[in-house]
Chain A
């Protein structure tokens, strides 16, 4: 490997050839400010348009200042990252950006979490010497995402996520010069486009230009309505990230405090989406074994591989992009929707109340879940199975609003019957988890033997596409895993071409799975945060007394009392769904 010698702020350094000034500086603890640049290392995601010029540095012998994020190092370079000239240039660039930015900070959804605001603060901007025209662009709202493009600084991060990482292709820079904005084709609204609502554009937008639709007001209203019973479910990935909103170390598990906070917010029953994740495994696992059994018996009509279906953005993706393959994914609803369907039938009956008087709120790491609960097939007489889905971030806002000192809350337990869950359900929160949970149950159901081990390291990790073969007592089951829709697309194209060797594939839209969901606390481009959340999820699995879905006593009881058996007619009606061609 070739190396180069250079100095940065008078410090001599030896670095690899071919890296950028930004990388070289960060290696010796010099933090050059950046705005448009973003790099998520282990996920192979990089946005490097070199557009904002906040990262400029002075290079001896070069006439112009150089953008550090997209200038490679050379032997003998002498770099100054904070000369007078550099600081002046940076501040001028910043003032120019701000001169065309609304001054809405006090009431902006992104306030306190905005990279632009932080940069203005870091650079000590105290006045804006440039006055010019301010761009105005209509607001666009959809079931999940708001676009306030006035606040866009054209960093193009959302384009990178939507086009390169997710390969959905909704967003593009359009028009030129002052008129240019990031927009769907023909300036159509997001809800007319092929957007999946994965929220990855929201997760990386440095400003308030892209945000989730805020439903906290609706939740507060429901909680203060004495005629309603309000119950809540919380998704697995939330407990591994919520603490970050309260300055806790990334990867801190806050399950007990989360439950306590929900109780103080006034929910009548605190339940767990994990319960429904166990239910999902019962249904999806059974479906897998059915299809596999038929396939092995020589039935040529049965479709393999089976694909997971718990991610609503992924569902919308294949409905738009692969409608001819709609018979391959499992028909199992997502855990969120299974929970809602059981809550508004089984549980409402237990309470002796009408479904209209029961409000189901879900706390999700996800913005697509907002869209999912609004889908018509998940409503009965116009009453949705899940009334409101709010993100991890929105929950944090509600907790702060309600004067709850989160850090000092005691650990409390979920309520029953819909609060009991297993380790298998917890790992739904990370890429690889759903299929590992399915393996734990399918293996035992199929072989009628106890699993010799519960941890399937071969299914874990952060690689975009992974594969493993699991021995089902002599029957090799080939498993594929993809996270990020671009990776999913690759596996789908293989299936289309008849080249896929898998029996089952897990797909999650968000890089990392739900731990990296569009509704999670912002990672600000730091992939370590996602990795720590993943560690936490597997830790929670280990902490659980029961780690296989089919051993969850309340699930067993639910089948005995209400559903019969997996894939029964009632289960079909309440827990399965169908897909729609959206082309």
Chain B
């Protein structure tokens, strides 16, 4: 078991959220949602506190966290990149777009770059199938993204990175 080493006030914040949902195991998803909104991600220690707060097993919490792709155990980058993997996007080449993002940033899905600027996530259908394949960076939506455009999108967010030689 990882020992809980969170700051006291973070623990309290999580426990308060649990109390808000009456410490009910059936509210697990809602609790996770709210905690992730506050903390940005759900590392192991946070899940342990939630398990305590809802009086259920950590395995159960972890089971739910890993079931929904919305939840993440890794801190997101300053600019979280999400690639839609819904059927429409997939058919129109989302996979190649994803591969290009991974290649450009040298990170896997669910990870963030060393400088903390970018992270990559996959989403199930975001409901913008007309624009497939869809990529979101933060709140901004990019439609009909082709692999060749990936470099440009990244550059838009990476200040001082116009120097193409750096992105191998």
Binds B, one of A169-177, A289-297, A371-379, A404-412: A169-177
On whether the beta carbons of B60 and A169 are closer than 8 Å, the reply is yes
In the complex, which residues of chain A have a beta carbon less than 8 angstroms from the beta carbon of B58? 169, 185-186
Q: Is B1 a contact partner of A183 (Cβ separation < 8 A)?
A: no
Contact between chains at A169 and B67 (CB < 8 Å): no
For residue B58, which residue of chain A has the nearest CB?
A185
Q: Is A328 an interface residue (CB 8 A)?
A: no
CB pair B67–A184 under 8 Å, yes or no, is no
Smallest beta-carbon distance A553→chain B, Å: 48
| A172–B57 CB distance below 8 A | yes
Residues of A contacting B123 with CB < 8 Å? none
A-B interface pairs (CB < 8 A), number: 50
Q: Of all chain A residues, which has the CB nearest B44?
A: A186
CA distance A185 to B47 in the complex (A): 9
B59 near A169: Cβ-Cβ < 8 Å: yes
Q: Is the CB of A186 within 8 A of B2?
A: yes
CB contacts (< 8 Å) of A113 on chain B: these are none
Contact B62 A174 (CB under 8 A): yes
- Chain A residues touching B, majority SS: loop
Chain A 162-202, CB-CB to B under 8 Å as 1, else 0, gives 01000011111111100010011110100011100000000
A159 and chain B: residue at smallest CB distance: B59
| CB-defined contacts of A176 to chain B, threshold 8 Å | 66-69
Q: Which residues of A contact B160 (CB under 8 A)?
A: none
Tell me the chain A residues, 248-293 only, with Cβ under 8 Å from chain B.
Answer: none
A163–B67 CB distance below 8 A: no
B56 is an interface residue with CB less than 8 A from chain A? yes
Instruction: Tell me, in angstroms, the Cα distance from A172 to B118 when the chains sit together.
Output: 31
Interface bits B44-74 vs A (CB < 8 Å: 1, else 0) = 1001000000001111111100111100000
Q: Contacts of B62 on A, CB cut-off 8 Å?
A: 172, 174, 185-186
Residue of B2, B47, B61, B63 most packed against chain A (CB within 10 A): B63
Contact call B67/A185, Cβ cutoff below 8 A: no
The smallest C-beta distance from B109 to any residue of chain A, in angstroms, reads: 12
Q: Which residues of B contact A184 (CB under 8 A)?
A: 59
Cα–Cα distance between A43 and B68 once the two chains are bound (Å): 34
Most-contacted residue by chain A among B2, B47, B57, B59 (CB, 10 A): B59
Query: Hey, which chain A residues are within 8 Å of B44, CB to CB?
Result: 185-186
| Chain B residues positioned under 8 Å from A188 (CB to CB) | 1
Report Cα–Cα, A193/B66, bound state, in Å. 18
Separation of A184 and B61 alpha carbons in the complex (Å): 11
* Per-position 1/0 for B96-130, Cβ under 8 A of A: 00000000000000000000000000000000000
Q: Which of A170, A186, A192 has the most CB of B within 10 A?
A: A186
Contact residues on B (Cβ < 8 Å of other chain), bracket: 10 to 19
Chain A residue, CB-CB nearest to B47:
A185
The answer to whether B67 and A174 have CB atoms under 8 Å apart is yes
Residues from chain A with Cβ under 8 Å of B47 in the complex? 185
List, in ascending order, chain A residues with CB within 8 A of B57's CB. Answer: 163, 168-170, 172, 185
* B56 proximity list for chain A (CB < 8 A): 169
Shortest Cβ gap from B53 to chain A (Å) = 15
Complex Cα spacing A192 to B2, Å:
9
In Å, the complex CA distance between A75 and B90 comes to: 47
Separation in Å of the B140 CB from the closest CB of chain A? 28
How distant is the Cα of A192 from the Cα of B57 in the complex, in angstroms?
15
How far is it, in angstroms, between the C-alpha of A469 and the C-alpha of B66 when the chains are bound? Answer: 49
Residues of A within 8 A of B60 (CB): 163, 169, 172
Highest count of chain B CB atoms <10 Å: which of A169, A183, A185, A188:
A185
Q: When each residue 298-329 of chain A gets 1 if its CB lies under 8 Å from chain B and 0 otherwise, what string results?
A: 00000000000000000000000000000000
Q: Is the CB of B1 within 8 A of A174?
A: no
Residue of B nearest to A179 (CB): B66
Cα–Cα, bound, A183→B60 (Å): 10
A174 to chain B: which residues have CB within 8 Å? 59, 62-63, 66-67
Q: Which chain A residues border B69 with CB–CB below 8 Å?
A: 176
Assess whether A183 is in contact with B59, with CB atoms less than 8 Å apart: yes
Task: For the complex formed, measure the closest distance between the CB of B55 and the CB atoms of chain A, giving whole angstroms.
Answer: 10
Q: Which residue of B lies closest to A183 (CB)?
A: B59
Q: B1 — which chain A residues lie within 8 A by C-beta? A: 188, 192-194, 583
Q: Are A171 and B66 in contact (CB under 8 A)?
A: no
| Interface 0/1 of B65-98, CB less than 8 Å to A | 0111100000000000000000000000000000
Inter-chain CA distance A186–B59, complex, in Å, is 7
Contacts of A194 in B (CB 8 A): 1
A-B CB proximity, top 7 nearest = A169-B57, A172-B63, A172-B59, A185-B58, A185-B62, A185-B59, A174-B66
5 contacts between A and B (CB under 8 A): A168-B57, A169-B57, A184-B59, A185-B44, A186-B62
Residues of B that sit less than 8 Å from A by CB: 1-2, 44, 47, 56-63, 66-69
Beyond the given pairs A170-B57, A176-B69, 7 more chain A to chain B contacts, judged by CB atoms under 8 angstroms and listed by A's residue number, are: A163-B60, A169-B56, A169-B57, A171-B59, A172-B57, A172-B60, A173-B67
